[in-house]
Chain A
Amino acid sequence: MEEESDTRKINNSFLRDHNYATEADIISTVEFNSTGELLATGDKGGRVVVFQREQESKTQPHRRGEYNVYSTFQSHEPEFDYLKSLEIEEKINKIKWLPQQNAAYFLLSTNDKTVKLWKISERDKRPEGYNLKDEDGRFRDPSTITTLRVPVLQPMDLMVEATARRVFSNAHTYHINSISVNSDLQTFISTDDLRVNLWNLEITDRSFNIVDIKPANMEELTEVITSAEFHPQQCHTFAYSSSKGSIRLCDMRQAALCDKHCKYFEEPEDPSTRSFFSEIISSISDVKFSHNGRYLMTRDYLTVKVWDLQMENKPLETYQVHDYLRGKLCSLYENDCIFDKFECVWNGSDSVIMTGSYNNFFRMFDRNTKRDVTLEASRENSKPRAILKPRKVCVGGKRRKDEISVDSLDFSKKILHTTWHPHENIIAVAATNNLYIFQDKVN
C-alpha cells in the first residue's frame, strides 16, 4: 500500500502541562456530537469538557473551525459501595450525544456503574424587575404590594450551564463498557461485561435486560461482551461484540430477551498463525456501525475489520493496524498491553476508517484506494497549524531515515480514543492527557 500524501494539519491542541498532569487528567473518551459543532471529552477524574467550534470569521480565515472550551463539569464523583465494600471509579468510560432537538444539548456519560443524562444549555439573559420578592429573594408582605410589575429580560454575560437531568443507576453488576442511543431518540442501551440493558431516556427507575450471557455457573464463563451499539437507522437492531472475536446482531422485535442473535459474524481462525495468544488478540475492543448502516467495523488487537451485514462468514475488508507487534505478543502479554482496548471510527462518508496504535501513532485506511497512513499525535513533532508527516515503523533489517524501529516504540503512549467529525475531515485524538484536533488542510 502506498502511503497517502499528507493532507492533515494540526488545527489546535489542548495540552496540559506534562509536569502537572495527573492520573485524573488522562482522557478516557472523546466524542463529536451529531452536527460536529461540539466535541466532548471525558477523563479519569470524572470530568467532562465540552469544546465548541468557533464560528467562521472573514477576518481570520485560518481560525476557521477552531474548537474552544465551551463547558466543563464534574459528571461523576468517586463513590464507595458499602454493601460490596468496593470503590466505584469516577472515570468516564463513554460519552454519547443525543441528537439536538432544541436550543439545549444533551449527552449521556457513564462510568463503570452509572449512566447520567446531562443537559448543557446557554443563558445570556436574566429576568429583572420582580416586585413580589425583595432583593434578597424573600417574599414581600403582600399587603405592601399595590401594583404588579411584569419582569423584563435583561442581557447578561453568556453562561453555559450543565445540569444532570437523569441518573440511571443500579442496573449493572459488572463494568459498563459502552452506551448507545437509539435512533428512535427515546431509548438507549448500556452494556457491561455480561449484560445489555435497555432504558427509556425518561425513566430511571427501571431498565430491561435484553441480553444476558452470564452462565448459571460462573466457572463456565469463557466469553464476555466487549461493546454494543444500536443500528443507526433501524431502531430494533443492535450489535454486540465479544471477547472471542465474534459479533452478534440482534433484532428486538423477535423477543423481549435477545439471547438468540439473528446474525453471527465470525471469521474462522487461520491455523497457520495460531498461538496461545490467538484468542486474546481476536477479542474485539470496539464495534461501530457505518453511518449508512450497511457495514460493521470491529477492532481487535492487531487489525480493524469491516463486515458487510449481509455476509457473516468473513469480513469484507481487513486492515493491519500494527502487524509488526505480532512477534512481540509475549512481551505485550507480560506487560498487559495486549489487553488495551483500542477504539475505531468511520469518517462521515464511511470511506475512511481510523484507529489508534502505540507511540502516539494513529492509523487511517482509505477503503476505496486501499491506501493507509500512520500519523503521530505529539507535541514535539507537531506545532499548531503544522502539517503532519506520515510516520513509518521499520520492521527488521535496515532502518531508513525518518523511520522508527519497533523496539523503540513507546508502549505507554497509546491512542485508544478517537472521533471523526460527522461531515468534515476533522478528527480528535486523545493521547494520554492531551487532546489533538486535526483538520484537512485549509485552502
Chain B
Amino acid sequence: MFPKGTKRKFSDSGEEAACGGGDQGPSAAPAPFAAAARTLSSSYSLQRQSLLDMSLIKLQLCHMLVEPNLCRSVLIANTVRQIQEEMTQDGTWQIMTQALAAAQCPADRLVATEVLCRQTEAAAAAAAAVQAGQSPKPFSVSGLEEGYHSEEVVIDGDAEAEVAMSSLSPVSPQLSSASYLAGPFGMGPCWEDDEEDADCDEDEEEDSEECASEGEDGERHHLRADSRTGEQVFGTFEIKHPAPPPDPALEELFSDVDPSYYDLDTVLTGMQSTPKMGPYDLLESLSSHGPTALSSSATCRSDLNELDHIMEIIVGS
C-alpha cells in the first residue's frame, strides 16, 4: 500500500532529480488522495519532500546545540524557505490540504498539518487511521515541537545566548507550522496558543528528564488548544499515563513507513557528534530517539528508562 522504498531511493536517484529535475521514479500514492497524488507521485515532489524532511531534521538537531554552526544553520534554513516557497507556488500544499480536508473530520486538522512537516505517506496513513476511528498517536507528535522546546532550555536566563538562539528558534516553528497558517484551515490562533503554553513550561524544563517528555507536553497543549475533542484522545499520550497498546494493524502500517526516519536519524546523529557539545549531549542523544521513541508509548518508556540510567551515571559520577 505504501511505497516503502521511495524515501530510501532518495540518496541515489534523488540527486539527479533534485539537481536536474529528472522525472522518472516510483509513482505511488494512496488512492483516496488522487488529486494530491498526481502532484506528489512525480519523483521530483517526493524528493523535494524528502529534502524538506531532511532539512527540518537537520535544523532540529541544530537547535539542540547551544551554539550551532550559524553558517550551516542559516544555509539549511534558507533551503527550507526555498522549498516551502516553491511548494506554495506550485500549489502542492493546497491540493494536499484540500484533499485531506475533504476526507477528514475536524480533529484531523492537526494530522493534516503534520503532513507539512513529515512525509506525506505517513500523514496520509495517520489520517486514514483517524478516519477509521483509531487514534493517530504516533504521527501526531511533531519532532519540530520537540526541538523547539529543548531549545528553550538553552535560552534560559541568558540574554546573549537568547539572541544567538533566537536566530534559529523562529525558523522551525515558522516554517513548519506558522507559515502554513495561510492554508485553508485558518488555525493560526491554535498554534500561537501553543507557543504561549510552551513558554509557561519553560521553568520545568531545567531538568533534562523533563525535556524528554517535552515533545508530548507541547503536543498536548497544542491539541488542547486545537480541538476540544482531541484533548481526550491525545491526553493519553502524556508520558505519565501509559497509553493503550497501539493497534497492531496501525503499528504495522507505521512500521512500513517510518524506518526511513530511523535511518536518517542515525545518520544525522552519528554525523552530528561533535566533541564540543558537553552538557547537551544528553539532549541530543535524546533527540535522536525522538521520532522513534514517540512512535509508540512502549519505546517511549524504554527511553525514559534509558534516561534514568544516564542520569544515574551522571549523578553517580
Contact = CB atoms under 8 A, between A and B. Distances in A.
Interface of A: 23, 80, 83-87, 89, 112, 173-175, 177, 193-194, 218-219, 221-224, 226, 243, 275-277, 279-280, 283, 326-331, 333-336, 339
B166 A330 contact: no
B54 A333 contact: yes
A89 B158 CA distance: 20
Given A87-B276, A330-B19, A336-B271, A279 B79 contact: yes
B74 interface: yes
Contact of A175 (B69, B75, B275): B69
A173 B158 contact: no
A87 B19 contact: no
B75 A276 contact: no
Given A173-B164, A218-B170, A23 B275 contact: yes
Contact of A330 (B51, B69, B164): B51
Given A223-B74, A243-B71, A335-B267, A83 B158 contact: yes
A173 B163 contact: yes
Given A224-B71, A329-B19, A86 B161 contact: yes
B21 to A, nearest CB: 8
Contact of B70 (A175, A333, A336): A175
B248 interface: no
Contacts of A224: 70-71, 74
A423 to B, nearest CB: 34
Contacts of B70: 174-175, 193-194, 224
B71 A193 contact: yes
A177 B161 CA distance: 19
Contacts of A174: 67, 70, 164
A326 B54 CA distance: 19
Q: Which of B158, B167, B264 has the most CB of A within 10 A?
A: B167
Contacts of A279: 75, 78-79, 82
Nearest to B68: A175
Nearest to B51: A276
Given A331-B15, A339-B75, A87 B277 contact: yes
Given A173-B160, A218-B163, 12 more contacts: A85-B154, A85-B158, A194-B70, A218-B168, A221-B74, A222-B74, A224-B74, A279-B82, A283-B75, A330-B19, A335-B271, A339-B71
A275 B163 contact: no
B194 to A, nearest CB: 18
Nearest to A193: B70
A89 B66 CA distance: 13
Interface string B9-51: 0110011101110000000000000000000000000011001
B161 A219 contact: no
A175 B274 CA distance: 15
Nearest to B52: A276
21 contacts: A86-B67, A86-B161, A86-B278, A173-B160, A173-B163, A173-B164, A177-B71, A193-B70, A194-B70, A219-B174, A222-B77, A222-B78, A224-B71, A226-B71, A275-B20, A328-B15, A330-B51, A334-B264, A334-B267, A336-B271, A339-B69
Contacts of A112: 67
B171 interface: yes
B181 interface: no
B316 interface: no
Contacts of B174: 219
B309 interface: no
A280 B81 CA distance: 13
Contacts of A86: 66-67, 161, 278
B83 to A, nearest CB: 6
Nearest to B264: A334
B75 A330 contact: no
Nearest to A89: B276
Interface in B238-292: 264, 267, 271, 275-279
Contacts of A84: 66, 158, 160-161
Q: Which 7 A-B pairs have the closest CB atoms?
A: A218-B167, A219-B170, A87-B278, A193-B70, A86-B66, A330-B15, A330-B14
A246 to B, nearest CB: 14
A224 B168 CA distance: 13
Interface in B140-176: 154, 158, 160-161, 163-164, 166-168, 170-171, 174
Nearest to A174: B70
Interface string B213-237: 0000000000000000000000000
Given A218-B163, A275-B18, A334-B11, A85 B271 contact: no
Contacts of A226: 71
Contacts of A330: 10-11, 14-15, 18-19, 47, 51
B49 to A, nearest CB: 12
A173 B168 CA distance: 15
A2 B16 CA distance: 29
Nearest to B83: A276
B249 to A, nearest CB: 32
B276 to A, nearest CB: 5
A97 B20 CA distance: 45
A175 B18 CA distance: 32
A19 B109 CA distance: 55
Contacts of B264: 334
